[in-house]
Structure 1
């Protein structure tokens, strides 16, 4: 995935969150989290993670997932895993 940046990752996450959370006009920011985002529950979180791994061709381990608190954390993790390939 050429020219992968935090901004392009965030833009790539938006359609995933829109679909999984059924929120077509979602305001997704680096500060978005399960507490301030409608319909983001534990089941939706698992689906988001699975789709993110497929979309960005990365694999997360349990330790990675335990650190995720915000969308910004997810963006940073995707970027880190992509650069490590």
Structure 2
């Protein structure tokens, strides 16, 4: 899976978690999205794990700074 494909696949998960469409871009951060707090981050990670059949470690999640980082992580782990 490419990062671009992962980013596209993440869009419906963000909409589900935030209750409205979020214009995703690789450089987007939590500070750019109203309501993106620690609880929403947990909900998002749970949704990502369920959708892609992945298990993300705490270290991996802590290393995420942007949506692009998340897309890259999903793309790499989905290849395994």
Query: Please, which runs of 5 or more residues in structure 2 have no aligned partner?
Result: none
- Rg larger in structure: 1
Query: Please, which runs of 5 or more residues in structure 1 have no aligned partner?
Result: none
Which residue in the other structure is 2:52 paired with? 56
Match of 2:12 among 15, 39, 45: 15
Choose between structure 1 and 2 for higher RCO, CA contacts under 8 A separated by at least 6 residues. 2
Q: TM-score, normalised by structure 2?
A: 0.91
Runs of 4+ in 1 over 2 A off after TM superposition: none
Q: TM-score, normalised by structure 1?
A: 0.86
CA RMSD, 1 decimal: 1.0
